[in-house]
Chains A and B, each alone.
Chain A
Amino acid sequence: MGRYVIRRLLQAIPVALGATLLIFALVFALPGDPITALAGEKRMDPAVADALREQYHLNDPLLLQYWYYITGLLQGDLGTTFSRVPVSQLLVGKFQVTINLAFTALILEGVIGIGLGLWAALRKGKATDTAILAVTLLLISVPVLVTGFVLQLVLGVQLKKSLGIDFFPVAGAFEGWRSYLLPGFVLAGTSIAYLTRLTRTSLVETLRADYIRTATAKGLTRRRVIGRHALRNALIPLVTYLGADLGTLMGGAIITESIFNLNGIGQQLAQSVYLREGPVVVGIVTFLVMVYIVANLIVDLLYAVLDPRIRYE
């Protein structure tokens, strides 16, 4: 187990380096000169511009710039924006919004996905099962862009207009956890569908196992057979799926944040790309890549803990 952990950690290093270098190269290739853009309409004194370029290492070759960035990153320095704000300071409040959103989505995904999957598996081949599968097909097919606006209109506005229920705020994060309900569901949509299908398949397979027949033959109640014996075993692949999904949800939050006007890292990223704030863009994407890599690592290790049948050397 220890050797496996070390090997996995070592494998993650080239992936992290490669991904950040790729992002760095793309940001480097962005058209326009950020220093000229900084001055806006006015023309900047060439001496000042040169001094700034020197300060931000903009004249150095790509790999050297990347080297400066990575060494800074390892010392916990995400760099500074061209308007001299430390990137880490700029992102603190915004990470909170995105993390809240991603975890709301993850909880909704777990509850709804496993619930629907369980229901479908227990009614396999019946109308309920078919209906749930059709719902998952819809959830997979309808883009976030569409569910976001439609739910905003129906649950956020029409519900308030017609029934006077004002439960789902449609923009901003001013209402505490309620602000995240609607965007969280929209963000989780596709994942809910996949998790439902996975739960259904996993549980249907588990229910065929010999130990389930044994448990039933012992005279245990159906509730106990399903809850204690089947569900626990069927849950293993689902937990790992949920864990790996965290990175996907955080990376996919940009559209949801835009629709619901949540001031998270997705919004910041879109804005920084337009303003050519290289350090911010690289900082955000690096963070997301790290979340992805760490989440996958934890999931792989969790697998061994949850299922004692799996052994790593």
Chain B
Amino acid sequence: MSESTPMAPGTSDTLLNPAPPLPPSPGSRPGKAEKPASLWSDAWHDLRRRPLFIGSSIMIVILVVMAIFPSLFSSVDPTQATTCQLATARQPPSAMHWFGKDNLGCDTFARTIYGARVSIVVGITATIVTALVGGLLGLIAGFAGGGTDTLLSRVTEIFFAIPAILGALLILSVFDTGNMWTVTLALSVLAWPMIFRIMRAAVITTKSQDYVVAARALGAGKSRIMFRHILPNAVTPVIVISMINLGMFISAEAALSFLGVGIRSPEISWGVMIADARPRFLEAPSPLLFPAAFLSITVLAFIMLGDAVRDALDPKLR
């Protein structure tokens, strides 16, 4: 990181960070080679060489492919009831059925593969929704200050006081059916205040920087200052926390499905599989342990990615 230029807002040159260009510093010739590295290209340069980042990215790519095309990984389609044979229930793992069979004689491997979709979709959707809602409200509260800020901050305090799993349990029991979208909704409703707080704090710090004062003095409009000057420079912590949250959402989805209010049979999810395998768990552990392992690895991959990105974006923490 020593060769990097100071992270002034105007020095960025990527699409992600479209801050206004500063006049070139004296002595520097315009040209590609002379372009100073932005925070993002610098972080990318650093990330590419981190084993933690490479490892977690590979795992995530595999999981996403698994979620989109599960049939690539398994020749058995577990959504077809005919593939289950009750007579073979709780068969231990074998060459034919790698993960054995569950309590209803269904192939655990195929079900585990097909279960990835729910986790990935819930995790990614909830992350995007919370980042957008919490980020936008946090930007508004931090920028506007005064009454708007007080009101929004009080509202988030109320949400913080409600234990997450209990709140999600209540929200989900309002719906008669549980599916990916209701779970996403419940998790988003409870998680946006966290993003709000982080965004608000970052915006308040950024707001008093010289370049924002300069932009204001030059007559830039409110929305221009908010979206072109403040947002690109305050968004980093939100991205980092969002990535770590993604793993937490996947974990929460499994917990809610396990409690019977999230995804429900016949839809396949790792939480549902764990709940289904539970009654006979001590005699036939594999139908529970395999989805549990996939769940843990998925959460681990996203948290590792978040850790790696945080280290790359925030050199002070190293």
**Any A CB within 8 A of the CB of B62:** no
Please give the distance in Å from B268's CB to the nearest CB on chain A: 16
B291 nearest CB neighbor, chain A only: A146
Q: Is the CB of B288 within 8 A of A149?
A: yes
Please give the distance in Å from B8's CB to the nearest CB on chain A: 28
Residues of B within 8 A of A (CB-CB), count: 42
Q: Is the CB of A141 within 8 A of B170?
A: no
Bound together, the chains give a CA A273 to CA B259 distance in angstroms of: 11
**Any A CB within 8 A of the CB of B169:** yes
B123-131, B140-148, B213-221, B294-302 - the one binding chain A: B294-302
CB within 8 Å for A137 and B303 given contacts A153-B281, A251-B166, A270-B169: yes
B170 nearest CB neighbor, chain A only: A26
**Any A CB within 8 A of the CB of B81:** no
CB within 8 Å for A150 and B174 given contacts A252-B163, A269-B166, A270-B259: no
Q: Is the CB of A143 within 8 A of B173?
A: no
**Any A CB within 8 A of the CB of B271:** yes
Bound together, the chains give a CA A143 to CA B299 distance in angstroms of: 8
Bound together, the chains give a CA A274 to CA B274 distance in angstroms of: 20
A window 1-34: CB within 8 A of B: 14-16, 18-19, 22-23, 26-27, 29-31
A window 262-283: CB within 8 A of B: 269-270, 273-274, 281
B278 nearest CB neighbor, chain A only: A149
A255 nearest CB neighbor, chain B only: B255
**Any B CB within 8 A of the CB of A203:** no
Q: Is the CB of A153 within 8 A of B285?
A: yes
Q: Is the CB of A144 within 8 A of B255?
A: yes
**Any B CB within 8 A of the CB of A79:** no
Residues of B within 8 A of A260 (CB): none
Nearest first, the 7 closest Cβ-Cβ pairs linking A and B are A251-B163, A18-B158, A141-B300, A143-B251, A146-B292, A19-B161, A142-B296
Using CB atoms and an 8 Å cutoff, list the residues of chain B in contact with chain A.
154-155, 157-159, 161-166, 169-171, 173-176, 247, 251, 254-255, 258-259, 261, 271, 274, 278, 281-282, 285, 288-289, 292-293, 295-296, 299-300, 303-304, 307
What are 27 contact pairs spanning A and B, CB under 8 A? A15-B154, A18-B155, A18-B157, A23-B162, A26-B171, A26-B174, A29-B174, A31-B174, A137-B300, A141-B303, A143-B255, A143-B295, A144-B251, A145-B292, A146-B295, A149-B288, A153-B289, A250-B163, A251-B163, A251-B166, A255-B255, A255-B259, A270-B169, A273-B170, A274-B173, A285-B163, A285-B170
